[in-house]
Structure 1
Amino acid sequence: MRRIDALLLDRWDRDPDLPALISGPTVVSMGELKERVLRTAAALRAHGVGPGDRVVVHHERSVEFFVALLGAAFAGAAHAALDPGDPLERVRATTRDCAPRIVLTDARLAERFEGLAEVLTDEECAAYPAAAAPALDASPDDPVVIIYTSGSTGRPKAALISHAALASRLDALQSTHRMDERDRMIHHTACSFDMYLSETYWPLLAGAAIVVAEPGRQRDADYLAALIRDHRITTFYCVVSLLDLFLLARDPAERYDGLRQVLTGGEPLAPDLVARFHARSTASLTNLYGPSECTIYCSYWICPRDPDPATVLIGGPVQGTELHVLDDAGAPVPEGEPGELYIGGAGLGLGYLHRPELTAERFVTTPHGRLYRSGDLVRAAGPGGALEFLGRVDRQVKIRGIRIEPAEIEATALSCAGVGQAAVVAHGAGADKALALFVVPEDGAPPPGELGPSVRASLSARLPRALVPRTVDVLTALPLTANGKLDRALLEKRAAAVPAPRPAAPATGDLGALVVAVWRDVLAVDAIGPDDDFFDLGGDSFKVVRVVETLRDRLGLDIPLAALLHEPTPRAFTEELRRVREAGE
């Protein structure tokens, strides 16, 4: 298996005039992308970067983002892409853990890394003279990507992915879902979710064009629909919850027959959603499954066109992959019986950065070879041994495609002032799945009415939005079972309790009060300040739809979904509604 940089170079030299990136009015050809990437690689090499080094990429979704991460690969380094939307403390802590040789970012974000690492801006890289591809003493087994995921020890863990593993997965995608120069694919997945790799490398290697979504608009169904239509998108990936939002938010009569293939995953895919998608598009729908440690995905299932499907499977192994369903003793389970999924083959990651004990725990040597212990329960339930996902063997949860270790949130909560004990549970299902934190105050802590909001504010400043619990409840003691263990079932029941009835929404004359009342109903929270963030309060794409549809009915206005996505505080959203109302008068 060859290295990714060598494969890209062959592709770009073969068709330098093909469009590679389309970002708003900007079109970057493959030849132009090659030149910019090699300039960045030359800048990195001049600053001492080479094989075995790590580079942090910290850019909004843009042409510069792609140039930076590809430049790192061509310099021989592995990149770790850190989301500019994450809290500053999280970005700095992850950078310290990564210990990069250099950080690639733009000038306005450079100060975030003061005292941590040397910084190169895209302007500085662009000033370097054009250069040939560097001759590297490097191997396909070298790491090319570092993916940070939530960690059960209280800090994120970083999975190392090699050139060979990434190339293998891209080859597998191309073998079953072929793209060529006639295709276009949207890049909209956040760099905290490993599918951004397929949205980057797959179209570039296939000769297809990447259509770059604007930062912050990946949840905007209207915007994505316009991109699909205006750019004649043929291949589209989105997590299950976004696919559901997309169908809910758009006109039920609207069809998407221009799409040729849609890939989804990250969460359980409901049969009803499959049926609703097939009713509105001739495109194929593929359910992908796989942890980051095994490079994007390791199994797939092309959903049959059944008008009333009974179940959705995660399918069988992709090309070059081995899947083993084993019991607690490491022996194969009988077909149809549940067991833990172990994954091996060409896409297997190298392990975890700086975490040898965790690597040894999860990447295990078995009679079947070196395998990754996924922690997922599955069973053979379909033709040819196609697998069905049954749940987790540990506490890890997924909410809107993001892997979350409750222990990481608990450890962060315990470091907050006034917290003596902490426990996190997940409750609900599908779009309503959420996290709840329960804390017990230590001596001298503020009163409960102050401690809960204080802890939530501290978590919001230190954790990515997906890891911030929707609610923080202060208890005098955590409940225990008869044998003295934490009673998580009781906490889940308490977290899922129906909220108290809320006052009726005020008349539409008081627009700000109406906005707050609707938010309270949809978010099931009592207190909302004028500058509270909708998403920090537990909002998600589905709740955006509910808020906007409610206000459309109450106000008689054509309110775009993007209004709330772009202005997620009551104060700013109310002003945006006033502008919409004035424009319609």
Structure 2
Amino acid sequence: MQSAAVPPERRIDPERRIDELLLEGWDRHPEHAALVSGDTVVTTGELRDRVLLAAAVLRARGVGPGDLVAIYHERSVAFVVALLGAVFAGAAHAAFDVREPLPRTLAALEDCAPRAVLAGAAFRSRFTEVPDVLVLTDEEYAGDGFGEHGPERDPLPVAGTADDPAVVLYTSGSTGRPKASLISHRALVSRLRALQGSHRMDERDRMIHHTACTFDMYLSEVYWPLLAGAAVVLAEPGRQRDADHLAELIRDRGVTTFYCVVSLLELFLLARDPAERYDGLRQVLTGGEPLPPELVKRFHARSTATLTNLYGPSECTIHCTAWVCPRDPDLDTVLIGTAVADTVLWILDGAGVPVPDGEPGELYIGGAGLALGYLNRPELTAERFVTLPDLEPNGRLYRSGDLVSARPDGALEFLGRVDRQVKIRGVRLELGEIEATALRCPGVLRAAVVAHGSGSAKRLAAYVVPGDDGATEDLPAAVRETLRTWLPHSMVPATVEVLDDLPLTANGKLDRLLLAEWAAKRSAEAPGPHPANGAAGGAAADPEALVSRVWCEVLGVAEVGPDEDFFDLGGDSFKVVAVVEALRERLDADIPLAALLTEPTLAEFTAELRRILDGPTPTRPWIPSACLGPVVKMAPRARRDFGDRTRAG
């Protein structure tokens, strides 16, 4: 009873391992809800038993400290058990998105050389040709055929220290090769303590886990609630950007804490009825990209919850600064805030000298949340994780590449990048990796990729120069096919254009500013959505023709075939909203966003639309046409022969 009076953030000691801290909390209250997935509720006691069994199975197969375990599951209870089972076995885990192109995942597995892969049964066949790796499905690591005489489930965490690796997280790499941050128990626990200290949760709270496992914020959605005694509410696989589904979870599952990247927050407010409020939420955290003041005001108008802007690269584990957005009707700038607990920040000029307050400089980050470095990349680790004895005699600093300036109160303002890294809907991308992948396409001699636009309208554009024997007519489609094969959807440019040569500046360097201007101009010239007013005449009798016409308008393409995939044509979550709202207005029917998210080909979506039109028509949410935003013209689609669809996450 005495320990229950100790504030949770004080019990979260960065000198202790995450598995030790979790087990201590589970033993204290085994009856509390830990995971909520649909109608299934898993208590902390049940979760403890499943995790300990998974860890015991792994240890019986030789997995232990110093090893890496790859996790390849849809978002599910089994995914959480796999993550924790790996850590309780003493290993670090690296989670991979099952919707990303399989060649990219297999290349990462070759790079990190896992001792084992824990996968959903439906995905086992994807690893049949991976040599020297143990593949276990959830049925196997949930029992492994041992029956009642299974391996000993040691209730004590394995021997180790807080500096042992706990997580490996892959991000885009500037050289064309993804890089993996190696995150220790100390770094993870330190960041969870910071979150708990500023945004406390307890057994009365629930937090949605919807973020893709390729983005480090998923760590907070899983580990933070479990450490705080709260419950994790699991979003359905593939519906992490479905505003209707997320709103339903918030309302029906009693969610109090919600994290989403800025573009998803904007989509969430756009896609729901403007009169709908979210006062059941206590706290919302956002980040990943610049947060517009106008979006802060719109959120505050619809919820009493606090809104906190978080900032931090994955090399610093989840976040390193935070700023609670004030309820100020005259707010004109959103800051990224001050350092969180156990964090050191320096703003330095090009010579490594601290800049005066108010002056721009590159942000260097230190403290307990720093990653151990990059897996198998000592040169890159030495380049980005530096030692500056005059500033930090006893520690390292991470060169973020971000330009910031400090206000008099210490709060930081984000100003941009010093390199070619960009963020698209919260996902950090290296343009160099996209360019290197485009060069894999036969017939491409040179390639350049630029970003244009801002906020949710930010897009990528690719320019390629053909070789002497390159067929220019089919080259854009071939390049997009190559990019889709190797890269996740978020890294595939919206447009691919063939040039005789790439433009150069007076100094002989690639003129990226000019390319970005060209891309922005082409985007502005693209056709926009048809005004969403008036009835569709006989459209209800021929919904496929109507759907095809709306897709062409929103996506900026000339025609769509019955088997064309909306997301392959350049669709994203914002264009889903544009399509659904246009159809709602023209058909005067309620069409859920999930209909297009789950049935993304023209034929599939049309069939689903017919089923909806044949059923009852509930009250339809309204989205103002003026909010549908700009539309970017997409290059023609090429067919694919591999794997699952890749969609914006």
C-alpha deviations, 1:339-391, integer Å up to 9, x for none?
A: 0000000101100001000000000001223100000000013x521000000
Tell me: CA distance 1:218–1:396, structure 2 relative to 1, closer, same or farther (3 Å).
same
CA distance in 2 between counterparts of 1:493 and 1:306 reads 35
Query: 2:598 maps to which residue?
Result: 566
Does the 8 Å contact 1:43/1:125 carry over to 2?
yes
List per-residue Cα deviations over 1:383-430 (Å, max 9, x = no partner). 521000000000100000100001001101101111111110011111
1:274-306 CA-to-partner distances (Å, cap 9, x unmatched) read 001111111100000000000000000000111
- Counterparts of 2:491 and 2:561 in 1: how far apart (Å)? 21
Aligned-pair CA distance for 1:136 = 2.4
1:93-242 equivalences under 5 Å are: 93-116=107-130, 117-128=133-144, 129=150, 131-133=153-155, 136-242=158-264
- Residue 550 of structure 1 is matched in structure 2 by 582
Q: Does the CA contact (< 8 Å) of 2:335 and 2:413 recur in 1?
A: yes
Report matched runs for 1:255-334 at 5 Å. 255-334=277-356
Larger displacement relative to structure 2 (20-29 or 119-128): 119-128
Following superposition, the deviation at residue 513 of structure 1 comes to 2.7
Matched positions, count: 583
Deviates more, 1:428-437 or 1:511-520: 511-520
User: 2:88 touches 2:157 (CA, 8 Å); kept in 1?
Assistant: no
Amino acid at match of 2:331: P
The answer (yes or no) to whether the contact 1:468–1:536 under 8 Å persists in 2 is no
CA distance in 2: counterparts of 1:6 and 1:16, whole angstroms: 15
Following the alignment from structure 2 to structure 1, what is the Cα–Cα distance between the partners of residues 529 and 334?
41
Q: Which amino acid aligns with 2:304?
A: T
Structure 1, 478-487 or 337-346: larger mean CA deviation:
478-487
Is residue 523 from structure 1 mapped to residue 546 from structure 2 by the alignment? no
Amino acid paired to 2:21: L
Per the alignment, do residues 556 and 343 of structure 1 end up closer, same or farther by CA in structure 2, a change over 3 Å counting? same
Equivalent residue, structure 2, for 1:495:
519
Measure how far apart 1:308 and its partner are.
2.6
8 A contact 1:455–1:472 mirrored in 2? yes
Question: Counterpart in 1 of 2:634?
Answer: none
Identity %: 68
Indicate the SS of the match to 2:347: strand
Measure the CA separation in 2 of the matches of 1:503 and 1:302. 36
Aligned to 1:338: 360
One-letter code aligned to 2:453:
G
| Deviation by residue 1:137-188 (Cα, 9 ceiling, x = unmatched) | 3111011001100000101100000000000000000000000001011111
Cα drift, residue 532 of structure 1: 2.8
Q: State the alpha-carbon separation in 2 of the partners of residues 328 and 253 from structure 1.
A: 49
Q: Give the whole-Å Cα distance in 1 for the aligned partners of 2:75 and 2:50.
A: 16
| Per-residue Cα deviation, 1:491-537 (whole angstroms, up to 9, x for no partner) | 11111123355897996254223222222222233353333322233
> Are the counterparts in 1 of residues 17 and 189 from structure 2 also a CA contact under 8 Å?
yes
| Counterpart secondary structure, 1:496 | helix
Residue 441 (structure 1) shift: 1.1
**Structure 2 residue 116 is matched with structure 1 residue 91:** no
Moved more, 243-252 or 498-507: 498-507
1:440 aligns with 2:465: yes
Whole-Å Cα distance in 2 between the matches of residues 268 and 474 of structure 1?
A: 31
> Is the Cα contact below 8 Å between 1:275 and 1:308 reproduced in 2?
no
> 2:548 touches 2:559 (CA, 8 Å); kept in 1?
no
Q: Is the 8 A contact 1:470 1:536 kept in 2?
A: no
Q: Which residue of 2 aligns with 1:406?
A: 431
Paired residues for 1:7-46 under 5 Å:
7-46=21-60
- Take 1:154 and 1:204, find their aligned partners in 2: how far apart are those partners? 36
Residues 399, 103 of structure 1: CA spacing in aligned structure 2 closer, same or farther, 3 A cutoff? same
Of 456, 460, 480, 2:480 maps to 456
Partner residue in 1 for 2:3: none
Query: In the aligned structure 2, how far is the partner of 1:135 from the partner of 1:329?
Result: 46
| Correspondence 1:397 to 2:429 | no
Range that drifts further, 519-528 or 568-577 = 519-528
**Could you list the per-position Cα deviations for residues 421-474 of structure 1 after superposition, in whole angstroms to 9, with x for gaps in the alignment?**
11100111111111111111112222x231111110121121111111111111
Confirm whether residue 579 of structure 1 aligns to residue 611 of structure 2: yes
Matched residue type, 2:610: R
Matched, 1:356 2:388: no
Q: Aligned letter for 1:375?
A: G
Amino acid at match of 1:474: V
Task: Identify the residue that residue 403 of structure 2 maps to in structure 1.
Answer: 377
Partner of 1:48: 62
Distance in 1, matches of 2:592 and 2:342, equals: 45
Distance 1:321 1:115, change over 3 A: same
| CA distance, structure 1, for counterparts of residue 387 and residue 568 of structure 2 | 42
Q: In structure 1, what is the Cα distance between the partners aligned to 2:516 and 2:510?
A: 11
- Partners of 1:561 and 1:503 lie apart in 2 by 17
User: What is the one-letter code of the residue matched to 1:379?
Assistant: S
For residues 134 and 439 of structure 1, do their structure 2 counterparts lie closer, same or farther at Cα, with a shift above 3 Å needed? Answer: same
Name the Cα RMSD after superposition.
1.5
4+ residue segments displaced more than 6 Å: 502-507
Question: Which residue of the partner structure matches residue 452 of structure 2?
Answer: 427
Q: Distance in 1 between matches of 2:362 and 2:551?
A: 41
Partner residue of 1:417?
442
Aligned 8 A contact 2:529 2:553 in 1: no
Letter in structure 1 aligned against 2:49: E
Q: Distance in 1 between matches of 2:134 and 2:497?
A: 42
- Aligned match of 2:269: 247
Q: Tell me the secondary structure at the aligned position of residue 56 of structure 2.
A: helix
Q: Distance in 2 between matches of 1:376 and 1:171?
A: 25
The equivalent residue for 1:467 is 491
Question: Aligned to 1:131, what secondary structure does the other structure show?
Answer: coil
> 1:82 touches 1:192 (CA, 8 Å); kept in 2?
yes
The amino acid across from 1:411 in the alignment is A
Q: Give 1:568's aligned amino acid.
A: P
1:61 partner SS: coil
User: Aligned equivalents of 1:24 and 1:499: distance in 2?
Assistant: 44
Question: Is contact 1:21–1:28 with CA below 8 Å preserved after alignment?
Answer: yes
More deviation in 3-12 or 492-501? Answer: 492-501
Task: State how far apart, in whole Å, the 2-side matches of 1:302 and 1:186 are.
Answer: 20
Corresponding residue number in structure 2 for 1:368: 391
**Cα distance in structure 2, aligned partners of 1:412 and 1:10:** 46
The 3 A distance-change label for structure 1 pair 378 and 583 is same
